[in-house]
Amino acid sequence: MPTPVEPLHVGVLGAGAIGCWVGGMLAADAAVTLVGRPRVLDPIREGGLTVESPEERPRLVPPDRLHLTTDVRDLVDAQVVLLCVKSRDTAPAVANAASHLRPGAIVVSLQNGLHNPERAREALAAQGASAHVLAGMVPFNVARTGPSTYRRATSGGILVEDDARAEPLVAAAQRSGLPLATHPDLPGIQRAKLLMNMSNAVNALCGLPLRDQFADRDLRKVVAVCQEEGLRVLEAAGTPPARIGRLGTRDMIRVLRLPTPLFALLAKAQLRIDPAATSSMSDDLDAGRPTEVDELQGEVVQLGQRHGIPTPACAAVVALVHDAEGRGPGDRPRWSGPDLLAAVAGGAAGDPPA
């Protein structure tokens, strides 16, 4: 009789919307530990974790199928750790967990921005840890639609750096139905995701659901001008984005500017979004938390300064988001498409709406 194979043990460091959804999907095949805050984990302890997606029936993961903890020491047996904290927390979170990771553990960054894998490597090296970091990219949005319910609201599959050490995770993902594959050019994919994420700040500033945002031509134009600046500075740095999906970046920028009926015909996937879905940056503003705008439009601004390329639209968006952060959730401005386009296209922050 064959010896039963032990399931892969996957830890999620920073179990928020993405971490809970990915961990909940993997729980069909893997042993999953969610390390997060009590406000996230306590409802799961009470009623289990429900993960949803447009293509299949909801899955309820009973609480006894998950290890729920606030303590990074509980990652000690994890062969794979999915890093899902905000970018500003990468270095301290990894440094805090480093001494508790098993030798040879794989840490997969599923975060926004370009620099988190390197930050994680530096934090591990400083602690003398032998874990190996792989870059990853999550193309979809996940919405928390109930106390312990997480719904993938947009399409796409997770991509992970092409490395033999990722094979156990890829195999567990395939068995569990989680869309995840390796890619030979993860840095290029991350740069493409950076440009895709230019919409996050626009969503945070307008306060609309993503579907309504993409139905507004002026708001799409704001995304397009930020993407143009981002593409320009990436090409000047000699690090162009990889191609994601059917349309290249330049084509997608053109499509964003089209009248809405044409846009709807050519970019159906952009509108195949859960009606209530918003960006994580919008959620952060609602909760009064700092955002990741410095990792997105702010990254474009920094690259532009380094290469002598003006980035007025991205600089204006950064200023507007920081202004919203400073006001707090109760006084959060809600920009209309025409007002935001006028403020950003001119390269000035402008006055927030009353």
Residue 269 has what pLDDT? 57
Average pLDDT score, the chain: 92
3-class DSSP state for residue 229? helix
> Contact 324/289 with Cβ under 8 angstroms?
no
Residue 353 has what pLDDT? 57
What residues pair up with 223 in beta bridges, in sequence order? none
pLDDT greater than 70 at residue 63: yes
3-class DSSP state for residue 213? helix
Nearest by Cα to 282 from 180, 172, 199:
199
Counting residues of the chain whose pLDDT is more than 70, the rounded percentage is: 95
pLDDT greater than 70 at residue 201: yes
Number of neighbouring beta carbons within 10 Å of residue 278: 25
pLDDT greater than 70 at residue 50: yes
Least confident of 57-66, 218-227, 237-246, 296-305: 237-246
What is this structure's pTM? 0.92
Residue 270 has what pLDDT? 55
Least confident of 100-114, 156-170, 180-194, 263-277: 263-277
**C-alpha to C-alpha distances, 229 to 147, 163, 223, 248, nearest whole angstrom:** 39, 32, 10, 15
pLDDT greater than 60 at residue 347: no
> Contact 183/162 with Cβ under 8 angstroms?
yes
Q: Which sign, positive or negative, has the C-alpha torsion 228, 231, 236, 237?
A: positive
Q: What is the pLDDT of residues 208-237, one digit of tens each?
A: 999 899 999 999 999 999 999 999 999 999
- Written as one letter, the residue type at 282 is S
Counting residues of the chain whose pLDDT is more than 90, the rounded percentage is: 84
Mean pLDDT in residue range 320-335: 90
DSSP H helical ranges for the chain: 17-26, 38-47, 90-98, 116-126, 167-176, 186-196, 198-206, 210-214, 217-236, 249-257, 260-266, 268-271, 280-287, 297-307, 312-327, 337-345
pLDDT greater than 60 at residue 107: yes
Mean pLDDT in residue range 309-323: 97
Least confident of 66-75, 85-94, 201-210, 340-349: 340-349
DSSP one-letter code for 351: P
- With bands split at pLDDT 50, 70 and 90, how would you rate the model's confidence at 266? confident
Residue 349 has what pLDDT? 46
Mean pLDDT in residue range 75-104: 97
pLDDT greater than 80 at residue 276: no
Mean pLDDT in residue range 321-336: 90
